Structure 1
């Protein structure tokens, strides 16, 4: 137990005061409200004695912000930022400063939540719609997703889609061209093993010699060659195969659209559209396919609908595919988006416009032509006859070339066959090309880039075949042709931001989606060049700072989780679940028990759990919960015994999804272990464990950690995320490996789950700073205050609404479920009505109808002060009084402020408003707090049914926004 209070903090522990919302006086008031004398007493009453940690964490002391910045600056200085020509899906890019400052470094964008409440998310929805429109235009296909995690995982999703929609039903082979990026092949093979698919890697042209359901091609390929696949795709279509294609987004600006060649699915990384390399991520992947495959699309899709006033409005389309509804039948795990990075890429396209993008792409290609022409003139053997930005070549003396490159701080791609590669990007200049001549040819070569350019301008270049040059226009929509000055761009970004409610306006009290402070000091380092501009495949000795940061962060997470090792590769919580289940699966296989494939999942589990189990090739068996919401031990024991020979694991969430510390958690672990299974403990609710208990101490074998929740990485409107897994020693040999970069403690052939070896390493400095600054004392206090805040909310709201589940002494852990079902039965007011009415009070709604339909689940986090908690509670109480007026018949069920919520300026300007039984003041200024800080929803309640029946997922005419 901590024995710490805010009044005992030293001066250098000031950050703890900054992170934790309630001050000492507020904590005392809340403790009195919930009937506890201290945080320690409250913790002892909430957490079962058998699972409380016997000693404090070993993270270390707390530090001030200045000390934290100094320490991480020292780590950053150990990274050596070289000029990178490695390519392979990662490229230098110029992040427009107007986007860097106003999006990446702006809490109005990076603290926003996934747009499940679209009426208060129209800004980021428009930005994502722009991303979809951009993807559609460049690829020539019909329907784009809102982004996926990275190019390699998008390839795995493309393979799964191909199997779902292919008419070659008896085929079980997915054919991968041997010129696809190796990390992509790695991730595809990992996913294929789970699904039981056979993967054949070979020359693209030989795909027709196999009975395939799908094929993966790369355009341009890893060597830089631009292939015309038109005839090959036609042959594959005759075989009923689905053709998927990985494409370079910048090359598509000047190359023929893949759809013209016949591709069915096109995907790739949008990184080089203004997103830093970040040692591997986070980066958004685009994913586009045919309209007839829309019901099989992975991830999220943003669509155009209309609101209750008939105005255009945006929303997440086809939400019935969400995991909490379809569970193990879901097409993919919904937590697969990189929204903040997709927004940056879309703004990059808006800022440059089609002509600006052409200028950038043509300049990259022209410099590549200059380099190629000069090298060929000196007898260098080029491996590729066509190119956009990448050349592959051989030289007589590899050692001499490498020595010159090392001396010049230049990284080239070094292939296993002894050849070299260079990939140019928008940061490359004529001087850089001249330096490449010196490195590749040695001194005295006599080549001048300017002279070569003059020759090329006079004679032309055939490096892109005429048949493969883009002839179609793209990005003709006004949005991409209007905001090219910084003034206009700044105002466009601000206009969209103003439509969105984020943490910089008010608390976001989402159950199981911890939305805590993402401190500015934690965010600062991700923009530093030493972290932002590192290539993930650079010589690893150049990344000593990253390696040290990752090792220390892993050590801290080992201490916090009670596990023996941590794998940093999964780049979302959903990927962490998948990676943890893969480790369990490979562990069983290593013991000759590969037949173990049953995953037991309680009814109350997160919806991502069944979807992840399905992706890992397991069969889901649901176990019951008792009337108190706890796992039914008798049912669990019965099913574990019945399926003992096939039992792979159980997936549980702790504290439970119902927000309670279940007393029988160690019994659950014991039952599963008794029958040969492993325990996967979902880390979504780690914010109620850190410093108090831990999954490893409880008895679990593996967990994922949502660094974007518990450890302060912001949600970014629905991504980025990081989901590293902690494992016990027996599972450590089976965590994800990587085909390009050797990872300590992981076998290379274990298979990768993400494109980069350390996932989205570029945001790990955020969690490093969070833990370093808080230290043992701050981490433990944060957990205790999170539980205090939750119990304070539950206590006060419990006087007005039923609280569905409680644990020991009538207390909860970190979240509570407000049961609105009795009110719905009594007067017809729904959980949706309450959620939308909260928008009028300036709040994002809590988690709606999960894990129990007809409820709201509230998680306040430790970062919210008592003032903000009271403001939220007062809003909920006021809404309860409004419901009472519906109950009494004073307001009709279909004509009251809850039914019409949220209210917009258009509502109160409408003369017809006078026909409503409540006034405009109550509609839009229902409290003094709202008058002081009003957030205006820009659309009324959105018609989801209309949006699904009239699916439209690209930019609408600009006049519709004005």
Structure 2
């Protein structure tokens, strides 16, 4: 074995395993399997035009050298991004810990109680600091959170008896530029008219349904918005506020003015800048709007034994249920970053946060007074951490500052703004002041500390306590926090324990060598709005990644800006919309979507201003060509796009795909390919070959960015030549095509930091390793399919009987024994496995995807578990629910109880197969009671007494 070949470490199947696997499947070799799986007319005839893979050692040397091309300046640009200090205990035990970063979204609450508690802490922190009643478990960034507030309030118009034609939304001119750009993107397809202006002269006319304010303003001024909020309420205008979370430690929280929504980012709570992301945004609102809030909410409930339990609450808002009726297409969060930000608050507590906020504020006051004393006029009367200063020549100041490795925000020729942060020292302040001295040739300067009075008016000073719950007042030593983090980690089943075979979610290895650079300062401490010559390492990495993805997809250009898969869907459709408008065909608004599509597809289409027309699927799970042709022709005058997942959501390479895409083109539409299943395409076929025009890619699936318990994700779009001009831009750092649409996410390159992972994945695997990884994914899926043959029915297969990279097993026949698919999912926990995807895309089924990074031994353990469960199903009876499946999962408390009232042994309950004894995972709770939790919604760290009363 060549120890320098990364593919040998990433791909779990060894050469010696192949004969057994081929025999089980019934093929002679890999070539036969691929021939029987992928239609010949779309198979690539040449290898990917990418370099050979490099070793992990070579990659780490390369990425280290590349990082040094980034210049780490002291950056005071602000605009929603600030250098922060990640406590080492959080960095080592969460950010760098696969027990946290390889976990999946907590749909199986019984094996996710640790993450759920960490997210409940996050929600509590947000609710306390904003003064709002309920918060979600994070959104993608501040700008998209503000856009979600705009659209949520738009949907709520009917509740305030506004007319349907009330379409105006006021935006304060103090809003961050990237937020304004994103609001424009979202507003246009929904017919919302943005009115940008001064909040002090706003007329509160009945034409407006909502307003958005920035607190503090983009250049630091702290306004008293209480009067605005009262007038708005009197005129039935709902108010959203984008707030700086650290400032809320000292400032009156917006919730106390009676506003409807508060949004922002938690980046400055210990999250690296990372050239723009990933960072966890927050969204807090009134409990009255709990049925409309976008994203996920963690809530308290109880388990089968009545013990407190946590789970994702109000899941009926999920897009796979609401589809085109959904008010948001969000299907993810920024869980890993939210966990870190919440732990930052746990570690520092209210007193620690107060210390940090006071330090930042006092240094800002000191800076303002010092500059004033040497002749520079501060332009803000009230401020927290940012001052706006009049200068004679900002160009000269910039030259001096950059010579001292300092970045400021140069507003115009005679104005700058300066934002301080927790990493600023007194020496940094002296250096900063010296830039002004030198730029203006100030004589007799003395940098003495000056006494500064209060600059936050009494009415705007926070008077209410926050973070009073025990969790924020208990873990302030490193020892205690380390143990608390470990206690939570032990409650979660992640990829470092066993295979997670989630269909459509591709839970593959996130290699340590790909992850290591995320902790390095030369990648982490770069502000997204620094001059490009300070981010040459990032620029080289990002441009190379774009080119790599162009080659893999066969397309002409890529935008890395979308920072989730659903956001990639939306971006792709908005690019298609812009293309049609450029040709004078802006009336094209019909989007055809197969019935089997992921629920975010129709939700994204509606957000992009399109009307969804659903097309049928046949009995084999393929698109019904006749129905598609009928609808394409019926809507040919207005056909905008087809959204198609390939291979299909049913895990099949449909042989008629080129006929399908040609049909859409013949009727004037563009083809959007959902890249959720790209893990079965890379190196063997691609979106361009099948006839698509645009696709999004889930870098957190196919290209090895970890799921992080439900985020971060990256969803770049790759486009054909005709769509290239419309790729999205950014208002601060120009990106995209020459006819670019407005921003899709806040940062120019979205979540740039984690793009390092996919860059490394492609760089180390090379063209051959990428292709072999795809082959291994297909091999593993077909191996599981044939090992389960005769015991479980596989619903769909290709024309030659093969699965793609995933397959669906039908659990509906077991209802005759009283067993539901959920029972099988919960019983798998007792065998040490996370359940496959439950009841998607077909109710009562399990969708299994083993990925390429699992070994034959692990595949066999999983198959043995399912086959053992199959015997247990046969033993079950619909007349007697007291069986091992209905009672699963079995906790340690159950198994060690003095009382055992079950008709099977404790060993069968907890150790059903010999391998389980070697590495037993104990679920923290029994099954959660979803209905109870939704009836008694508690989404913050309430005292246990409050839970008991409910």
Match of 1:843 among 833, 840, 852: 833
Q: Measure the CA separation in 2 of the matches of 1:611 and 1:417.
A: 44
Q: Measure the CA separation in 1 of the matches of 2:148 and 2:394.
A: 39
Residue aligning to 1:350: 346
Residue aligning to 2:13: 22
Residues 1:876 and 2:866 aligned together: yes
Residue aligning to 2:209: 213
1:162-311 to 2 correspondences below 5 Å = 162-166=153-157, 167=160, 168-169=162-163, 170-210=165-205, 211-311=207-307
Residue aligning to 2:511: 519
SS at structure 1 position matched to 2:885? helix
CA distance change for structure 1 residues 675 and 100 in 2, over 3 Å: closer, same or farther? same
Structure 1 position 744, deviation (Å): 5.0
Residues 1:682 and 2:659 aligned together: no
Structure 1 position 961, deviation (Å): 12
Match of 1:806 among 797, 804, 812: 797
Residue aligning to 1:4: none
Contact 2:437–2:445 (CA under 8 A) maintained in structure 1: no
Structure 1 position 164, deviation (Å): 1.4
Q: Measure the CA separation in 2 of the matches of 1:674 and 1:188.
A: 34
Residues 1:924 and 2:907 aligned together: no
Q: Deviations over 1:184-239 (max 9, x none)?
A: 00001100011110001111123335421110000001010001111111111111
Q: Measure the CA separation in 2 of the matches of 1:362 and 1:179.
A: 24
Residue aligning to 1:901: 888
Q: Measure the CA separation in 2 of the matches of 1:399 and 1:300.
A: 46
Structure 1 position 747, deviation (Å): 3.9
Q: Measure the CA separation in 2 of the matches of 1:940 and 1:525.
A: 39
Q: Measure the CA separation in 1 of the matches of 2:188 and 2:100.
A: 38
CA distance change for structure 1 residues 959 and 346 in 2, over 3 Å: closer, same or farther? farther
Q: Deviations over 1:735-789 (max 9, x none)?
A: 11111111153545x2001000000001011001000000001000000000000
Q: Measure the CA separation in 1 of the matches of 2:437 and 2:881.
A: 79
Contact 1:280–1:756 (CA under 8 A) maintained in structure 2: yes
Q: Measure the CA separation in 1 of the matches of 2:905 and 2:430.
A: 72
Residue aligning to 1:649: 641
Contact 1:737–1:747 (CA under 8 A) maintained in structure 2: no
Match of 2:697 among 705, 711, 732: 705
Residue aligning to 2:851: 861
SS at structure 2 position matched to 1:218? strand
Residues 1:945 and 2:931 aligned together: yes
Structure 1 position 797, deviation (Å): 1.2
Q: Measure the CA separation in 2 of the matches of 1:863 and 1:577.
A: 27
SS at structure 1 position matched to 2:203? helix
TM-score by length of 1: 0.96
Contact 1:737–1:746 (CA under 8 A) maintained in structure 2: no
Structure 1 position 450, deviation (Å): 4.9
Q: Bigger shift: 24-33 or 681-690?
A: 24-33
Q: Measure the CA separation in 2 of the matches of 1:880 and 1:331.
A: 40
1:689-768 to 2 correspondences below 5 Å = 689-747=681-739, 750-768=741-759
Structure 1 position 39, deviation (Å): 1.4
SS at structure 1 position matched to 2:876? helix
Match of 2:96 among 77, 98, 105: 105
Residue aligning to 1:361: 357
Residue aligning to 1:34: 25
Residue aligning to 1:495: 487
Residues 1:69 and 2:60 aligned together: yes
Q: Measure the CA separation in 1 of the matches of 2:682 and 2:197.
A: 48
Q: Measure the CA separation in 1 of the matches of 2:533 and 2:285.
A: 40
Residues 1:549 and 2:547 aligned together: no
Contact 1:228–1:261 (CA under 8 A) maintained in structure 2: no
Q: Measure the CA separation in 2 of the matches of 1:505 and 1:451.
A: 55
Q: Measure the CA separation in 1 of the matches of 2:598 and 2:120.
A: 28
Contact 2:319–2:331 (CA under 8 A) maintained in structure 1: no
TM-score by length of 2: 0.98
Q: Measure the CA separation in 1 of the matches of 2:412 and 2:928.
A: 55
1:501-512 to 2 correspondences below 5 Å = 501-512=493-504
Residue aligning to 1:340: 336
Q: Bigger shift: 204-213 or 124-133?
A: 204-213
Q: Measure the CA separation in 2 of the matches of 1:399 and 1:565.
A: 35
Q: Bigger shift: 315-324 or 738-747?
A: 738-747
1:402-481 to 2 correspondences below 5 Å = 402-416=398-412, 418-442=414-438, 446=444, 450-452=448-450, 455-456=451-452, 461-481=453-473
1:101-140 to 2 correspondences below 5 Å = 101-140=92-131
Structure 1 position 321, deviation (Å): 1.0
**Long gaps (5+) in structure 2:** none
Match of 2:612 among 620, 624, 635: 620
Structure 1 position 833, deviation (Å): 0.2
Structure 1 position 893, deviation (Å): 3.7
Contact 1:96–1:348 (CA under 8 A) maintained in structure 2: yes
Contact 2:69–2:535 (CA under 8 A) maintained in structure 1: yes
Structure 1 position 352, deviation (Å): 0.3
CA distance change for structure 1 residues 100 and 325 in 2, over 3 Å: closer, same or farther? same
Contact 1:338–1:719 (CA under 8 A) maintained in structure 2: yes
Contact 1:208–1:236 (CA under 8 A) maintained in structure 2: no
Residue aligning to 1:954: 940
Residues 1:58 and 2:53 aligned together: no
Residue aligning to 1:566: 558
Match of 1:399 among 395, 398, 403: 395
SS at structure 2 position matched to 1:576? helix
SS at structure 1 position matched to 2:729? coil
Q: Measure the CA separation in 2 of the matches of 1:450 and 1:478.
A: 42
CA distance change for structure 1 residues 879 and 746 in 2, over 3 Å: closer, same or farther? farther
Q: Deviations over 1:240-272 (max 9, x none)?
A: 111000000110111111111221100100000
SS at structure 2 position matched to 1:267? strand
Q: Measure the CA separation in 1 of the matches of 2:835 and 2:445.
A: 64
Q: Measure the CA separation in 2 of the matches of 1:651 and 1:164.
A: 25
Residue aligning to 1:662: 654
Q: Deviations over 1:117-156 (max 9, x none)?
A: 0000000000000000000000111010000000000010
**Long gaps (5+) in structure 1:** 1-6
Q: Deviations over 1:625-681 (max 9, x none)?
A: 000000000000001111111111010100000000001100110110010001001
Structure 1 position 526, deviation (Å): 1.1
Contact 1:515–1:709 (CA under 8 A) maintained in structure 2: yes
Contact 1:228–1:468 (CA under 8 A) maintained in structure 2: yes
Q: Measure the CA separation in 2 of the matches of 1:349 and 1:799.
A: 53
Match of 1:44 among 35, 39, 56: 35
Q: Measure the CA separation in 2 of the matches of 1:487 and 1:729.
A: 56
Contact 1:374–1:447 (CA under 8 A) maintained in structure 2: no
Structure 1 position 31, deviation (Å): 1.4
Q: Measure the CA separation in 2 of the matches of 1:566 and 1:746.
A: 14
Structure 1 position 446, deviation (Å): 4.9
Alpha-carbon RMSD? 1.4
Contact 2:300–2:939 (CA under 8 A) maintained in structure 1: yes
Contact 2:116–2:311 (CA under 8 A) maintained in structure 1: yes
Q: Bigger shift: 308-317 or 395-404?
A: 395-404
CA distance change for structure 1 residues 115 and 667 in 2, over 3 Å: closer, same or farther? same
Q: Deviations over 1:779-812 (max 9, x none)?
A: 0000000000000001111221101001132111
Contact 2:602–2:612 (CA under 8 A) maintained in structure 1: yes
Q: Deviations over 1:906-926 (max 9, x none)?
A: 21233442x211111111111
